[in-house]
């Protein structure tokens, strides 16, 4: 066998060889280039840099950058942060990921973290971040004035910034509002084959169950959850939006969802055939959770972070939470958007939200035991 024959069947053609080598070389160059390109940028991250790329004479304040680690959806929170930059000239850097990985990142980075603020949903997450020493206590007159105490950490490590009500949604063509009452009532056999739920892996359900453990006790709550599972019309859903669509399509008649998911669908489809019902009005009130923030322990710019948090609790920002995100303002007396007003006033469950954090483990274990997937 000649060497040519060995070579022939798998020979890579000359142009491809050339392309490949060009590709390799350019990648290596790109790699070097990237690192070089980073250096000037990185120097601007830390202390005050002498020269910025933007040489426009901005006020001294704008030299400051607030870096946020956020598990909040970018398109929902970015418009608010852009408003802040517009108003104050302070630049806001946003790093998004899930809450868990962000906390690990904060832990690993320790005192040298570039983050100033942790922004996340669910009181349980904020409570955990505080437990793990990732947040520092702050004392702010403004936050104290704007945010009711039950939505804040007693030590000031985190603050709620918006409220999210988790309540009953129903198909008005099949269900009369008078048939509805409490979360626990959905365990009644009359709802057999008519209930849709989102997965128990969702932190919103975990917090709801935590609040029920607090209100009803563990034993009763477990009975309720078992009843829910028995009443399910179909496998649980991976998100609230799909569950709402299922009610609209007639797969089931009742379900549990955060109110803003419903609001966002209504924004796009005003005729969406699902109605909202405020649960537990005659008893403990509708379950509300928070989205919120805290100043990171290792922050280089805690004042900047606090100022931003104070601004987020201001009338302007709170109004935006209501109008663009369909969440409820945490501050009282804010003019809610027309859509939120149309859903009516409702009594809110008064449990301090930090309970959700401490009861989360118990809640998940309970759902696992009850067979709620």
Partner 1 sequence: MITIPKASNPQDDMADTDLIVRKDRTSLKRVLSKSVLGLISLFMLIPIMIVLLSWTQPMADIWPHMGEYVLPQVLKNTAILLAMVTVISGSVGTSLAWVTSMYRFPGQRFFSWALMLPLAIPAYVFAFVTVGMVDFSGPLQTSLRELGVTTAIPSVRNVWGAGFILSLAFYPYVYLLARQAFLSQGHRAIEAGQMLGLSRSRVFFRLALPQALPWIIGGLLLASMETLADFGAVSVFNVDTFTTAIYKAWFGFFSLTTAAQLAALLIGVVFIVVIFEQYWQARRGSITAQSSNKRLTSNAAAKWGMTLLCSLVFLLAFLVPFLQLLYWTAMNYRQDFDARYIDFVTNSLLIASMTTVLIAFLAIIIAWIKRQYADKSTKLMTTLANLGYVVPGTVLAVGVFIPIAWLDNQLIAFGITTKQVLSGSVIVMLLALSTRFMTVSFQPIDRQLQRLTVNQEAAAELLSSSPLQRWRQVVLPVLSPGVLTALLMGFVEVMKEMPITLMTRRQGWDTLAVRVFEMTSEGMWARAALPSLLIVLVGLIPVWILLRQSEKHS
At closest approach, how far in Å is the CB of 73 from partner 1? Answer: 5
Task: Give dist(CA 273, CA 263) in Å, integer.
Answer: 12
User: Is the CB of 207 or the CB of 337 nearer to partner 1?
Assistant: 207
3-state SS assignment for residue 237: strand
User: Is the CB of 74 or the CB of 315 nearer to partner 1?
Assistant: 74
Among 81, 114, 292, 304, binds partner 1 (CB under 8 A): 114
Tell me: does residue 50 bind partner 1 (CB under 8 A). no
DSSP classification of residue 140? -
Q: Alpha-carbon dihedral of residues 270, 275, 276, 280, nearest 10 degrees? A: 170
Distances (CA, A) of 23 to 18, 20, 32, 37, 245: 8, 5, 14, 20, 47
For the segment 225-284, give every residue that binds partner 1 (CB under 8 A): 234-242, 245-246, 248-249, 251, 261
Tell me: does residue 22 bind partner 1 (CB under 8 A). no
In our burial notation (b when 16+ CB lie closer than 10 A, e otherwise), range 221-246 reads bbebbbbbbebbbeebbeebbebbbb
Tell me: does residue 112 bind partner 1 (CB under 8 A). yes
Among 18, 22, 24, 145, binds partner 1 (CB under 8 A): 24
User: Is the CB of 6 or the CB of 87 nearer to partner 1?
Assistant: 6
Among 61, 74, 303, 335, binds partner 1 (CB under 8 A): 74
Tell me: does residue 201 bind partner 1 (CB under 8 A). yes
User: Is the CB of 16 or the CB of 177 nearer to partner 1?
Assistant: 16
Task: Give dist(CA 99, CA 78) in Å, integer.
Answer: 17
One symbol per residue from 329 to 368: x for binding partner 1 (CB under 8 A), - otherwise; what is it?
A: -------------------------------xx--xx--x
Task: Give dist(CA 313, CA 292) in Å, integer.
Answer: 10
Task: Give dist(CA 143, CA 293) in Å, integer.
Answer: 11
One symbol per residue from 88 to 107: x for binding partner 1 (CB under 8 A), - otherwise; what is it?
A: -----xxxxxxxxx--xx--
């Amino acid at each position: 066998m000649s060497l040519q024959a060995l070579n022939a069947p798998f020979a890579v053609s000359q142009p491809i060889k050339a392309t490949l080598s060009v590709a390799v070389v350019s990648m290596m160059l790109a790699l070097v280039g990237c690192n070089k390109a980073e250096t000037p940028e990185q120097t601007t991250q830390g202390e005050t840099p002498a020269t910025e790329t933007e040489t426009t004479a901005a006020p001294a304040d704008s030299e400051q950058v607030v870096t946020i680690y956020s598990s909040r959806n970018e398109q929902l929170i970015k418009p608010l942060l852009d408003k802040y930059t517009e108003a104050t000239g302070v630049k806001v850097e946003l790093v998004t990921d899930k809450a868990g990985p962000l906390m690990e990142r904060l832990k690993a980075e320790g005192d040298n973290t570039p983050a100033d603020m942790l922004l996340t949903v669910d009181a349980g997450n904020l409570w955990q971040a505080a437990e793990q020493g990732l947040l520092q206590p702050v004392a702010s007159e403004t936050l104290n004035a704007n945010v009711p105490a039950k939505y804040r950490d007693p030590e000031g490590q985190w603050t709620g910034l918006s409220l999210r009500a988790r309540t009953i949604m129903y198909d008005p063509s099949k269900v009369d509002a008078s048939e509805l009452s409490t979360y626990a009532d959905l365990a009644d056999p009359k709802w057999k084959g008519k209930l849709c739920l989102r997965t128990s892996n969702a932190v919103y359900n975990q917090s709801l169950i935590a609040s029920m453990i607090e209100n009803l006790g563990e034993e009763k709550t477990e009975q309720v959850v078992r009843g829910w599972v028995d009443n399910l019309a179909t496998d649980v859903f991976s998100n609230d939006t799909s569950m709402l669509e299922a009610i609209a399509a007639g797969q089931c008649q009742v379900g549990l969802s955060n109110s803003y998911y419903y609001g966002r669908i209504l924004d796009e489809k005003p005729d969406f055939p699902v109605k909202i019902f405020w649960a537990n009005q005659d008893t403990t009130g509708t379950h509300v959770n928070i989205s919120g923030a805290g100043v990171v322990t290792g922050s280089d710019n805690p004042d900047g972070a606090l100022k931003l948090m104070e601004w987020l609790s201001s009338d302007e920002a709170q109004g935006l939470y209501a109008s663009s995100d369909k969440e409820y303002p945490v501050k009282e007396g804010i003019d809610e958007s027309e859509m939120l007003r149309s859903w009516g006033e409702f009594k809110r469950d008064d449990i301090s939200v930090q309970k959700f954090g401490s009861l989360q483990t118990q809640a998940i274990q309970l759902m696992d035991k009850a067979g709620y997937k």
